[in-house]
Structure 1
């Protein structure tokens, strides 16, 4: 197994860059997982509001006090230019003007022209403050119509509007599959890009080094068969791919302890198959012996190309039919399609998932066959040339 051992000696120089990529991927995944696993509760937003009370009555003061309870009050000068600048630079979200005559109108049941405002058009603050003011005015008006005094109406309105229901944001998977949530499916969704980047950059570079002319001719002069040499290259590449994939699976188990339960097993198998596909892709790329800068370019083109065309970085739903028709000729498309079904992003079908597996394995088999043909054509000349040189040397 001399070739096998030599491969891993060469790999040592590339491991630091591969580990950096893996650590970065784990760090980003941990941040996303931590954000998605927090308890999802709805909380009302607090706005930065300034209030200009032109009515200056007990009634307008009561409204201002009510607004202060759920928002942060900012004091600025009552100047149009200053107010507009404050909104533009987001020092305030909303400037409320309580018009003169507010108290008289609300007691009379007239709700027209009670307020003025400065705000950004069609912003969240407009809708939010409009809802708050409408609820307050309508509640006070309703209690006044019941015969209560204004103070009693204001107190009752504040009590009614201060009642908050606890709202928890909950999302259930379509098939009740709690062990493979849509949130954690993102871990497997983005894995192909980092697999392509690491495996091709490391495996292809090692194989290119092993296939250099001097090493290749020396191997052909030895008693080692071509089949044995190729087998050891594939074995070493597969072992490296398996170790990298296993590291991702261990990282996934740390981020989600239930990753190895339920339907998540399908995602694990899907990722393993794709890792094998990328391994065969790396061996095929190395067969053409690209230079280091060309190899880096190929790695980026394959990684980013499949990520954007196949739905890794961009959801499949927003990709055009022409793009998807091209993506079907790439293995990452079938990986993403299976992953979306497993996560219930699209309708789950076990038969279609298995079909995606088989298509990916078909890509792997095709690349192995092409690699063997390329190596046979490319390196048979080296063996022939070596034999001719030996015969010429014997004659002399």
Structure 2
């Protein structure tokens, strides 16, 4: 019990840090959720930039591109994958469309059931969905005219006239707008949790390694394994409290709780929290000065967040950043969120959860081995 009492006594010294970082995290979550809701509520039909790769070059694909060009600006140059990612991220283009070879032939033969056009877009805004709605409206209306006996050129002209005064925004489901908010809010949680753990729990554990704490509390005589186990348990209890607070606040901000996808997101949060605790335990084994905790907080929280898809969506990360991010638990947390957003279930996110836990276990084992090596070296 002496370890527990000492842990929470030392933890009370970091109340200001906990409140400060909790306030920062909640401010970011609130701002992000506010942008999401207000941005979508005030959205109206505007011209978008679209990158188009036409592998078909048929009458149908040309007709589709010509129609989209009457509403949007078309980029038809050759771009690298990184350039396309940057254009979408900086909203220069809302969609990257790839028209497959044989698209026109399939459209004409199947009367409106063409091959699927691949569309890459920013999932957290309405712009990408608007372009897809415009494209879908044109193809369906043209197919209906052709079923009435018109040729493609005649159907193309009639479709353009019919759609000239219509806004494709009205065809975008309101469900899509509401769906984004819960994912936007919960995506920020890893940053909040990492900052809280690194700024409060980590320095407490580090201070347990100092001779001053050991002598004052009389725990220096305790076996190292038992002391580490008690510290891990105390850290876990504090983390559980943090998780509960963050999940409740995030649920209230998103306006959704106790649904099937909310439960899946909660599982993802819990697994990441377990991983975060393992990371903290590993860091505490390297003999870091407790006064360095603020610097560690910023380095770990910000680097994990930027490279792991917390602040920048995974699909917008550059090639190098994405390759590095795949080795971080935040990347797989974000990937799980994206899979849930796409309608995935527990089986679909299982691999993401496992990778997070494996990362935590690997880092914790490395940290403990390093700590044991230092103890033997000191002896």
TM over 0.5: yes
Q: Structure 1 residues 326, 377: closer, same or farther in 2, change over 3 A?
A: same
1:374 correspondence with 2:374: no
* Structure 2: 5+ residue stretches without partners: 47-164
Q: Structure 1 residues 35, 169: closer, same or farther in 2, change over 3 A?
A: farther
Q: Structure 1 residues 173, 236: closer, same or farther in 2, change over 3 A?
A: same
Say what the alpha-carbon RMSD is for the aligned residues: 3.1
Q: Looking at CA atoms only, which structure, 1 or 2, has the larger radius of gyration?
A: 1
Q: Structure 1 residues 13, 250: closer, same or farther in 2, change over 3 A?
A: same
Aligned to 2:181: 183
Match of 1:251 among 249, 252, 260: 249
Whole-Å separation in 2 of the counterparts to 1:221 and 1:207? 14
Match of 1:325 among 323, 326, 340: 323
Whole-Å separation in 2 of the counterparts to 1:297 and 1:171? 45
Whole-Å separation in 2 of the counterparts to 1:268 and 1:258? 12
Aligned length: 259
Whole-Å separation in 2 of the counterparts to 1:169 and 1:19? 44
Check conservation: 2:194, 2:301, Cα contact below 8 A: yes
Check conservation: 1:200, 1:279, Cα contact below 8 A: no
Aligned to 2:17: 17
In the TM superposition, residue 217 of structure 1 has moved relative to its aligned partner by 6.7
In the TM superposition, residue 32 of structure 1 has moved relative to its aligned partner by 4.2
Aligned to 2:356: 360
Aligned to 1:273: 271
Tell me the secondary structure at the aligned position of residue 260 of structure 2: coil
Aligned to 2:129: none
Query: 1:184-206 deviations in whole A, cap 9, x for unaligned?
Result: 21111111112111111211100
Aligned to 1:232: 230
More helix, by proportion: 2
Tell me the secondary structure at the aligned position of residue 329 of structure 1: coil
Match of 2:259 among 261, 272, 275: 261
Whole-Å separation in 1 of the counterparts to 2:254 and 2:181? 11
In the TM superposition, residue 380 of structure 1 has moved relative to its aligned partner by 4.8
Alignment of 1:1-396 (within 5 A): 1-34=1-34, 36-37=36-37, 40=41, 170-171=172-173, 181-216=179-214, 222=221, 224-344=222-342, 348=344, 350-380=346-376, 384=379
The 10-residue stretch of structure 1 (187-196 or 231-240) with the greater mean CA deviation from structure 2: 187-196
Normalized against structure 2, the TM-score is what?
A: 0.60
